[in-house]
Structure 1
Amino acid sequence: MVSLPALPKWRWPVVNWYSLMGVLLLVLVLVLLAWGGNRLGQTLADADRLPISEIALVGERQFTSDAEVQQALTEIDGASLVTANMQGVAAALTELPWVKRVTVRREWPNRLRVYLVEQQPRAHWNGDHWLNQDADAFSAPARPGLVPLPELWGPVNSNPKVWQHWLIFSQLLRLNGFEPAALELTARHAWKVQLKDGLELRLGRTDGVERLQRFIDLWPTLKTQGRRAQYIDLRYDTGLAVGWQLEQQENQ
């Protein structure tokens, strides 16, 4: 007779009820958070519940009208405070010709705050453009209230250089009683200054300040000639050449 080994007794598995309850609680919390987040998103995106009822426009404006701002802000019509595209609003306002920079912020519960910085024109540039406070060129229509500005001319991308030379040349001339009106950097990179009375000073490519000083020093002598100069050519190491106006021009 063969004896068989005794079979092990079967036992119910031991369940860690505390761990199971913890897992179930975590799943429940995650489900509630997902449901609550979805409901919150629907609520916040609902323009009827969080409409944009106020727009605070901050910044001094001289050349940008209320009508232009309102037209640019049509992009946020029907949007809630959350769904409104801040970058889109800023881009639309920046497209206005006299606007330099825009920042848009949300303010709960129902307001947008718009910080607007306008271009500050400092000079005319190449006839149909302007230079702003940073010597950047921009295009914009003329506006009432613009003060007379100097006329600056130069090749493409030369505006910072022309502006810096204008500041230096104009200051020197004004300190000595002259009224500069325009500055040109020609295609050959030579400088020309025009005074308000129409007199043109040809300075050449280098030593502009030294040559202007030469003009200033010799001007009392030139005035004694009894004739009106049309241009003065200072492109010489020493001395200058004078182009006199014709008698017919002087009598006009």
Structure 2
Amino acid sequence: MWDKPQLLLWLANLLTALAVLLLFYSLLFLAVHSPLFPVKSIKVDGNLEHITRQQLQYVVKNELKGTFFTLNLDKTRQAFEKLPWVRKVEVRRRWPDRLEVNIEEHRAIARWGTVGLLNQYGERFDAASNDVLPVLEGPEGTEKEVVDGYLALNAALQPLGKKATHLWLSERRAWRIQLDKQLIVEVGRDNARERVQRFVAAYPHSLARLQQPFEYVDLRYPNGFAVRLPDFRPASGPASAPAARPPVKPVVPRASV
């Protein structure tokens, strides 16, 4: 080997190249981890209504570790996403020393029973809210289906000027809604939105003309709907046993439902 100058020259060049690469890597490592490149500013964007400045400062102080180059963006994003009301976070570096954080908050449109809140995408999240919100209930895992149904049925009710304050979806996928915390409307399983739309169209010619209050409407009829009148009393006649509960009076409106 020692009597082969070409081989020795090649080996010397290889060792020199390795030494240069090692030196370059060392300098790069020191530069990346050097305190000369700290994150000097953090810009937070987003329409924030529930997340406080104190919460953001806590994350910055306790969760963000590293320099401009070594800061783990995924861990930073996850740290912000731990905050209540945070739905999604995007984190970007901006040379030479700035971090940009864009936060999207949940927008609560309803409560999921007593265990959480729901946003417009049917996603359940845990947060505290004093807002007056409708209550939605359904089988576990049907949050999106229930939110979609709520939005559709609420849109169908809009011409009446009434809103669903409570909505249920049963295990059999039958819908029931409560309007303005007073009237229970039994919608049923099939063609729920169409049934509500026909009910809304018929309402001015039927229920709106009743001279007494009503508390329950059943839309599960092919050619009409039934109404429960708590103050209804049948015409006098032969004595009979009293009814166990207020009767249900069938109604066939001018516009068939």
Across the aligned residues of Structure 1 and Structure 2, the Cα RMSD in angstroms comes to 2.5
Question: Could you tell me the TM-score, scaled by structure 2's length?
Answer: 0.78
Q: Distance in 2 between matches of 1:199 and 1:14?
A: 101
Alpha-carbon distance, 1:99 to partner: 0.6
1:133-152 map, 5 Å: 133-142=120-129, 148-152=132-136
2:88 maps to what in 1? 101
1:178 maps to what in 2? 162
> How many pairs align?
229
Which of 187, 198, 211 aligns to 1:203? It is 187
2:212 maps to what in 1? 227
Which of 56, 66, 71 aligns to 1:84? It is 71
1:28 maps to what in 2? 16
Q: Does structure 1 residue 111 correspond to structure 2 residue 98?
A: yes
Q: Distance in 1 between matches of 2:146 and 2:85?
A: 22
Alpha-carbon distance, 1:23 to partner: 4.1
Structure 1 residue runs of 4 or more that deviate by more than 6 Å after TM superposition: none
When residues 26 and 58 of structure 1 are mapped into structure 2, their CA distance, relative to the original with a 3 A threshold, is farther
Alpha-carbon distance, 1:41 to partner: 0.8
Structure 1: unaligned runs, 5 residues or longer: 1-12, 248-252
Q: Distance in 1 between matches of 2:23 and 2:164?
A: 72
When residues 30 and 14 of structure 1 are mapped into structure 2, their CA distance, relative to the original with a 3 A threshold, is closer
1:7 maps to what in 2? none
Q: Distance in 2 between matches of 1:175 and 1:222?
A: 15
Q: Distance in 2 between matches of 1:72 and 1:246?
A: 60
1:239 maps to what in 2? 224
Alpha-carbon distance, 1:83 to partner: 2.8
Alpha-carbon distance, 1:214 to partner: 4.1
Structure 2: unaligned runs, 5 residues or longer: 233-257
Q: Considering only CA atoms, is the larger Rg found in Structure 1 or Structure 2?
A: 1
Q: Give the secondary-structure state (helix, strand or coil) at the position aligned to 2:206.
A: helix
Q: Does structure 1 residue 160 correspond to structure 2 residue 155?
A: no
Question: After alignment, is 195-204 or 182-191 more displaced?
Answer: 182-191
2:199 maps to what in 1? 215
Q: Is the 8 A contact 1:174 1:180 kept in 2?
A: no
Quick one: percent identity of the two aligned structures? 29
Question: Could you tell me the TM-score, scaled by structure 1's length?
Answer: 0.79
